[in-house]
Amino acid sequence: MYAKKKRKVRVYQLMKDVYALRQGNVSVTDFYAALKSKWEDLDYHSKATWHCHDNQMQYVAKEWENRIFLFLVGLNDEFENIRSQILNSEESFSIEDVYSHVEAEEQRRLVPLGEEGSHTL
């Protein structure tokens, strides 16, 4: 009984942390790593028993979609364009795809103007 209550409190705290997490002054990579760590903790503490495989698969798909939304919501405003492109796309992305697109955009922004594609011999 005590363990179940303790688990519920832990899940509550993790959910609270996940919903409050924002990129702030860290890189996209660090922000994603922090979210991923919280999600792994949540998965560990939120184990459920499924009697129907189809229901489990639908739940898992919806959970990953929600995680994509949480990642996008937590990004700084400077990523509004890539966020809009992802949300308005007809394509279905995995969380790893979304992270890769956003991280590539961050890397593109870090390249000083004029350096990209200019190589002098």
Overall domain count for the chain: 1
Asked whether residue 116 is domain-assigned, the answer is no
Instruction: Tell me the per-residue pLDDT of 39-52, one tens digit each, with 9 for 90 and over.
Output: 999 999 987 777 88
DSSP assignment of 9-75 equals HHHHHHHHHHHH---TTS-HHHHHHHHHHHHHHHHHHT----S-HHHHHHHHHHHHHHHHHHHHHHS
pLDDT range class, residue 121, cuts 50, 70, 90: very low
Q: What is the pLDDT of residue 114?
A: 60
Domain that holds residue 76: 2-43+52-109
Question: What percent of the chain lies above the pLDDT cut of 70?
Answer: 91
Asked whether residue 22 is domain-assigned, the answer is yes
Question: What is the rounded average pLDDT of the residues 60-64?
Answer: 91
